[in-house]
Chain A
Amino acid sequence: AQSVTQPDIHITVSEGASLELRCNYSYGATPYLFWYVQSPGQGLQLLLKYFSGDTLVQGIKGFEAEFKRSQSSFNLRKPSVHWSDAAEYFCAVGAGNQFYFGTGTSLTVIP
């Protein structure tokens, strides 16, 4: 069965520090992978997606993610976090005709 695991429920970083959010997936075939961000009280916005090709993908707002097949991971990174990045982040797998989401990681940014 398909599943997505985000092991970190909550992360706190200082503004300007680097960030890495972890995502592991379970899927038998080549996955289609996504990262979404949700600001408080809002819907989800796509940050980036991976279908094939280059395993390092660039997204909006300075985010990037790297697909590592051997580790079944798709971790999200940002070199320097801004206070406006405080939000909830969801990793998702597109499998068959559905999307499977992780439980999310809540990011707090300290000034």
Chain B
Amino acid sequence: DVKVTQSSRYLVKRTGEKVFLECVQDMDHENMFWYRQDPGLGLRLIYFSYDVKMKEKGDIPEGYSVSREKKERFSLILESASTNQTSMYLCASSSPRGLNTGELFFGEGSRLTVL
């Protein structure tokens, strides 16, 4: 069965802390994505990656960075967390044919609270 696993379902961090959100997929997908979900705003793309060591900015990259050292793993990094980064973070992956024709497979989400 297809699986995207996000390491932490719930995190509570303090302002200024460095935060790592990890995502692993077992489908050998080339493409991986990080979205942020907020009420009334839907899903907004933070970063995406088409291959190992490659990354592209999405719509709201400010305050975030990513790392893709292995094909199956895509990490989202908040260098210095702020309260306005309190949100639900969703990781997703897709196959190359799924760039715009296939589907995204989502993890269960990581709910981050920054105090």
Give chain B interface residues in 30-89, CB to chain A under 8 Å: 33, 35, 40-43, 45, 48, 50, 58
Complexed CA–CA distance, A36 and B92 (Å): 13
**Are the CB atoms of B100 and A96 closer together than 8 Å?**
yes
Question: Which secondary structure characterizes the binding site on chain B?
Answer: loop
Of B43, B50, B106, B109, chain A has the most CB atoms within 10 Å of the CB of B43
Q: Which residues of A contact B42 (CB under 8 A)?
A: 90, 101-104
Complexed CA–CA distance, A44 and B89 (Å): 12
Work out how many contacts link A and B, with CB atoms closer than 8 A.
55
Q: Which residues of A contact B33 (CB under 8 A)?
A: 99
**Are the CB atoms of A90 and B103 closer together than 8 Å?**
no
Complexed CA–CA distance, A99 and B101 (Å): 10
Instruction: List 18 extra interface pairs beyond A34-B104, A49-B103, CB under 8 A.
Output: A32-B100, A36-B104, A41-B109, A43-B106, A43-B107, A43-B108, A43-B109, A44-B43, A46-B104, A90-B43, A94-B101, A96-B99, A97-B100, A98-B45, A98-B48, A98-B100, A99-B45, A101-B35
* Chain A residues near B (Cβ < 8 Å): 9, 32, 34, 36, 41-46, 49, 51, 90, 92, 94-99, 101-104
